[in-house]
Structure 1
Amino acid sequence: MTYHSGSRAVQDRVGVRDLADHVGRAIGQGIRPVAAAFLELQPMLVIGAADPDTGAVWASLLTGEPGFVRATGPHRISVRGGLCEGDPLTAALATAGTAVGTIELDPRTRRRMRLNGRVTPTARGLAIDADQVFSNCPKYLQRRETYERVERAPEATRHGSELTPSQREFIEAADTFFIASVHGHGADASHRGGNPGFVHATSPNELSWRDYPGNSMFLTLGNLSADPRAGLLFLDWTSGAVLQLTGRARTEFDAHGERTVRFAVEAVAETPGASPLRWTAPEYSQANPLLS
């Protein structure tokens, strides 16, 4: 099933059902050779799911030497290694059958690939059997020339129920974040990008951002219309710090057709040095709207 009722409702409200049907033909279950080759070149993977105990949705970061993610068949990928200690998705990824959404993003080439499916824990990490595989255009992706691997160990994860002043500053300086969402048949992980300041930390308990025009599938907003649970992941591309938020999101539509997503924070997890990757400074996408 390409779209569920939540995505259809948003498509109909915006008036893009026919376009969504056309774009949706690109969604398949198979991993093509070009996609398999792309996966093996990447040093990181973003994964989203719901915690089996609390139901909270989180997005997490996995890293490794290129090749740590690889296609092992036309419908399966393997991921070598695991999450940082204390990551809120640890239980979910250790539970066979957990629905996950993943996004593989290469800042060097501004390419991205999404694969959604079900997890099987393995002796070396995990495997994911694909339900949906597709690529997106490079719109709103910032280009980062290259990265280096830095010898640093993740610090202990700091947990909280609201954002600290420094975390709010970090969010408002971000040019990229990832969002995980769920629906009755699975999970999804997606990317959001813009010029620094495109995300507003309006209070210690709420974020907001404008939903820029995209591929018209409305997978994320469709999920949120059916189930408001969501997880956000912000990455410091230099220091490797990771900021994870879980909460509930809603979409507001104005009379001019613009959309704003408001996210209510329920829990926060911050891990300094979670990623060993240090990326070069960004070249912002020309598609990013100017901020007023």
Structure 2
Amino acid sequence: MTVNPKIVHHSRSKSSPIKPPPFPLQFNEHLYRLQSSEGASTSQPLISYKLNGLIQLYSNMCQLACIQQDVPKEHHEKVVDFLLDGSLWLIDVCGTIRDFLMQTSEGTQRILSVLRRKLDQHEVAKEVSSYFSSRKMVRKGIVKSLRAAQSFGKKFNTDSSNENHETISFLRILEKSQTISVYVLKSLFSYVSGSRKPSETSKWSLFSKLIHSRQEQTDEEDHSKRNKFEVVDCALHMLTRQKTITCNRGVLIKTLRGHLEDLQSLVLDFEKSIECLCRLLIKSRVILLNILNH
């Protein structure tokens, strides 16, 4: 049986390939979700959600293969320089956070070791003092890094004749991503630094809640809302107080060990996320350098 070539040709013309939507549209929903959470509280689940969202956003951007088209250098050179500065700051901040998390992990491990060996009050106080000294240095580093963040997140202008160009679109998306990254890292900084000088009343109030939450196993939602860094800080303060030594020391140590282990687990999760984000930021920086040198 002979097939009519006209029919074949006609049937093919109907099934023309469907073009994917312009790539900026693929990021709108992702950017919106991250931006919509800016006014929310800095709870641990929300911060983890934001970090994972950033990782996915940068991962998708780094996979783009459609930004190699040429565009006059004068239209984007200043923009790329601006974004390169932003990416360098973000990479440095990720390094600062990673170093802090490692210090925290090492400090909590030393305290756990002291508690397990049941050393005397002097040895415990020594490790606790070392832990708080490290926390104090971290807070200073956080303040310094946040001051540098004020110069980033500004809007840039591009030639309107190139508004729809894919390279310009990519730069705009990256600019928005950097702005959101600054906000997310600020939230993380705020969370890990904890309350700087909690009052005596707030310490005892939280201490009471910590004891009862472990003994009565209160609901998980209430537990997740508490800042795990603040929880450990409070428990360590109480451990070195004479008022808690006689009647509550044994209960407090048991409670503290549980919260230290919780903090270690959280720190490990944060470390993995920051490490992944840092690698993607480096990749995005390479893309920017390629655009600049194209």
Q: TM-score, normalised by structure 2?
A: 0.21
Q: Which structure would you say has the larger RCO, counting Cα contacts within 8 Å and 6 or more residues apart? A: 2
**Structure richer in helix, relative to its length:** 2
TM-score (norm. length: structure 1): 0.21
Q: Answer 1 or 2: which has greater strand percent.
A: 1
**Larger Rg belongs to:** 2
